[in-house]
């Protein structure tokens, strides 16, 4: 007579419940971790575009300023505006550098470099309720001077300060917070200083 061994019992209900709970927790953790990595990657992608734009547009502004024989600074749209004159005695500027909050820095009220240096407010991971970027501030100041003899020299040294902002993925009390990216360039207007000096010297002689 064969004696059949008893089959091993399966998992109990408590054990199955424990496995389901642990598996759910692991899956939830992996999902949240993946979302966090994805959000960080997306923000970093937009942030890189913003930094590259800031560096490039500042470089182009410095180039144009170095070519001008006369420079004037006033304001437009709440930002500084720079008027560049190709020749010192010109009455009309050959170029105007201005700023628009959502359109970026503009040369003669158009996108610099024949439309290639666009403000990166459109593209992957931005707009349509995602991240948004804008120009927060653009300020142009000359170097202050307390000595009359150095006034012309100091006025020929400009500080360009550009602040770009981007929404972060961090939410505080249901509201998005933003991060600022600051760009600064100092530029000495060599041609402008020389022409101003020559004009002042000629006026004193006459």
Given a contact cutoff of 8 angstroms between Cβ atoms, the answer to whether 164 and 180 are in contact is: yes
Q: Which residue has the higher pLDDT, 25 or 179?
A: 179
Q: Quick check: 29 pLDDT over 70? A: no
| Over residues 40-48, mean pLDDT | 85
**Domain ranges within the chain, ordered by starting residue:** 19-205
In this predicted model, which residue has the larger pLDDT, 206 or 99? 99
Q: Which of 3-12, 71-80, 95-104, 109-118 is least confident?
A: 3-12
CA-wise closest residue to 139 among 111, 118, 158, 152 = 158
Instruction: Give the pair of three-digit tokens for residue 13.
Output: 């209900």
What is the average pLDDT value for the chain, to the nearest integer? 82
Mean pLDDT, range 37-64, rounded to an integer: 89
Q: Angle at CA 115, nearest 5°, toward 111 and 119?
A: 55
Which band of pLDDT confidence, cut at 50, 70 and 90, is reported for residue 1? very low
């Amino acid at each position: 007579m064969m004696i059949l061994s008893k089959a091993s019992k399966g998992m109990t209900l408590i054990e199955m419940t424990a496995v389901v709970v642990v598996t759910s927790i692991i899956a939830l953790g992996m999902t949240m971790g993946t979302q966090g990595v994805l959000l960080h990657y997306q923000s970093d992608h937009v942030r890189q575009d913003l930094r590259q734009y800031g560096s490039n547009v500042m470089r182009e502004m410095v180039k144009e300023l170095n070519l001008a024989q006369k420079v004037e600074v006033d304001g437009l749209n709440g930002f500084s505006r720079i008027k560049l004159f190709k020749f010192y005695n010109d009455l009309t500027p050959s170029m105007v550098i201005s700023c628009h909050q959502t359109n970026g820095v503009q040369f003669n009220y158009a996108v610099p470099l024949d439309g290639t240096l666009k403000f990166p407010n459109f593209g992957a991971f931005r707009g349509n309720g995602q991240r948004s970027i804008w120009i927060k501030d653009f300020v142009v100041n000359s170097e202050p001077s307390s000595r009359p003899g150095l006034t012309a020299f100091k006025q020929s040294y400009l500080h360009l300060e550009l602040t770009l902002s981007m929404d972060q993925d961090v939410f505080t009390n249901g509201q998005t917070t933003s991060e600022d990216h600051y760009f600064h360039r100092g530029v000495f207007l060599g041609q402008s200083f020389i022409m101003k000096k020559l004009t002042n010297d000629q006026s004193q002689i006459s």
